[in-house]
Homo-oligomer: A and B are copies of this chain.
Amino acid sequence: MAYRETEKMRQRKAEARQRIIECTWACVSEGGFRSARITRIAALAGVATGTIYRHFESREDLFAEIFRLATQREVDKVAEALTVGESTVQRLENALRQFATRALKGPMKAWALIAEPVDPKVEEERLVYRKAYASLFEQAIQDGIAEGCLPDQDARLTSTCLVGAISESLVGPLSPTQTKTPPGHENNDNDLVETIVCFCIRGLTGTRS
């Protein structure tokens, strides 16, 4: 009788794949992509390193997959935040605030997704996802122009200005080599978010928010 993959085997394989993904993300969340070693991931997931390469062609392919899954979650959060607020400007503020606040709450994760120097294969994904964020903002800016609450502008271009401003301004604060917030300055994060949001909204509206 020819070898046939049983339902049970398929299920076991899918579970192993899921465990590999979860353990990789756990490693990345702790120390970024650089520190996520295949041997460590395999140990955490309880599989042989060879098993990982049966599921993913290379370390870079595994990382690209992790990057996509984790970033898609963040894109969804921004999309969700863009539905909340009375005016388009408030919705945009809400989405920018959401992005920055979430990043600062999970600085290592956010550093890995936004700024950590990574393999070109993962960096390619970053370019794709920056476009995804920009598309969301672009739609909102276009709505704002149509409603008359934003001045006429090249929404595609200014949406990328938003993406750039918000991610680049977080690079320093998120950097693992950055000195930690000294005690008594815990409000810094809040000021930081408000400064970034204010810059972005001013950039779009031309008025102080």
Contacts and interface: CB of A to CB of B under 8 A. Distances in A.
Interface residues of A, number: 44
A50 interface: no
A203 B156 CA distance: 17
A156, A162, A167, A169 — most chain B CB neighbours (10 Å) = A169
A83 interface: no
Contacts of A34: 120
A34, A127, A163, A168 — most chain B CB neighbours (10 Å) = A168
Nearest to A159: B169
Given A157-B169, A202-B202, A117 B120 contact: yes
Contacts of A164: 163-169
A168 B168 contact: yes
B206 A154 contact: no
Interface of A: 34, 115, 117-121, 123-124, 126-127, 130-131, 151, 153-154, 156-158, 160-169, 171-172, 191-192, 195-196, 199-200, 202-208
B169 A160 contact: yes
15 contacts: A115-B127, A117-B121, A118-B120, A118-B123, A119-B120, A153-B199, A157-B169, A158-B199, A161-B168, A161-B169, A163-B168, A164-B165, A206-B206, A206-B207, A207-B207
A165 B203 contact: yes
B130 A168 contact: yes
Given A158-B199, A160-B169, A167-B164, A208 B151 contact: yes
Given A117-B124, A130-B168, A164-B168, A206 B196 contact: no
